[in-house]
């Protein structure tokens, strides 16, 4: 290995709120020479890396994106110059973040790699709704799934429904109609379902619905990407639904903004 080789840190920036960064992440940012910044990361994160050169390498589904191969070349180039490169990814780097491809390239070049975990948007969405993804009264697990397979197809929704786990669907808003229709072939129409847009951020939006109305409710309420779709009976424990029932709005989708009371306050007011 080249003795002048630097290193790359794959850093998980979480869902947006900088308070959710780990101390380890903050330390890595402070020591960074080069920051490769994903599009969905809170832009204020650069204030934690005062000495770093910032290069924005946004990747968004359905939008113009920086090619993955170019990002990998940047990491390799700067690390081989002896620099500490911090590749900042939204959410959790090891969950739908193409970390596997980047690890292979860097290891192939003999570049040391460190991984720093963070909070995925699926967990942030559950926190916003005030639910446990693995509530033992409802399920025995949770399935994290992307709506897009490598060949641009879709996952086996019938097989996923058969697991009876809570489904956390990433990158699915453009296909929410087909996702709901596919799941309805295996799940009851009244299965609780929700959409959380910008989960964990200051502009978070949440919508509670049921599977047969999910696509229409989300569309009518103007929900779009980036968002997480949650489906399963555990979702029905949401304080959003408590709030809607107490307001006698049983026939309307329950939506709340982050300026509404938090989960604990909502429960207290609903009691």
Q: Which of 33, 38, 212, 217 is catalytic?
A: 38
> What CA–CA distances, in Å, run from 155 to 35, 63, 220?
34, 22, 26
Is 171 a known active-site residue? yes
Q: Which of 59, 75, 89, 217 is catalytic?
A: 59
Residue 2, token pair as written in the block: 């080249």
Is 17 a known active-site residue? no
Within a 10 A sphere around the Cβ of 2, how many other Cβ atoms?
A: 12
Give backbone dihedrals phi and psi of 24, rounded to 5 degrees, phi first.
-60, -40
Q: Which of 33, 75, 89, 171 is catalytic?
A: 171
Catalogue the active-site residues: 38, 59, 171
């Amino acid at each position: 290995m080249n003795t002048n080789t630097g290193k790359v840190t794959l850093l998980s920036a979480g869902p947006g709120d900088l308070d959710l960064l780990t101390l380890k992440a903050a330390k890595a940012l402070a020591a960074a020479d080069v920051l490769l910044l994903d599009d969905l990361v809170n832009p204020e994160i650069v204030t934690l890396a005062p000495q770093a050169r910032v290069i924005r390498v946004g990747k968004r589904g359905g939008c113009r994106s920086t090619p993955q191969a170019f990002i990998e070349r940047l990491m390799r180039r700067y690390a081989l110059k002896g620099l500490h490169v911090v590749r900042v990814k939204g959410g959790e780097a090891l969950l739908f973040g193409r970390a596997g491809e980047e690890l292979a390239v860097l290891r192939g070049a003999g570049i040391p790699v460190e991984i720093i975990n963070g909070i995925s948007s699926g967990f942030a969405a559950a926190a916003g709704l005030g639910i446990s993804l693995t509530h033992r009264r409802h399920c025995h697990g949770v399935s994290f799934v992307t709506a897009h397979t490598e060949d641009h197809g879709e996952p086996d929704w019938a097989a996923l429904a058969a697991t009876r786990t809570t489904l956390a669907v990433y990158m699915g808003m453009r296909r929410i109609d087909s996702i709901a229709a596919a799941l309805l072939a295996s799940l009851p129409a009244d299965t609780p379902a929700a959409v959380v847009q910008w989960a964990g951020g200051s502009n978070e939006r949440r919508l509670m619905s049921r599977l047969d109305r999910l696509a229409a409710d989300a569309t009518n309420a103007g929900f779009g990407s980036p968002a997480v779709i949650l489906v399963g009976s555990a979702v029905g424990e949401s304080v959003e639904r408590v709030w809607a029932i107490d307001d006698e709005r049983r026939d309307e989708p329950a939506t709340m903004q982050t300026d509404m009371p938090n989960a604990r306050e909502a429960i207290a007011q609903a009691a």
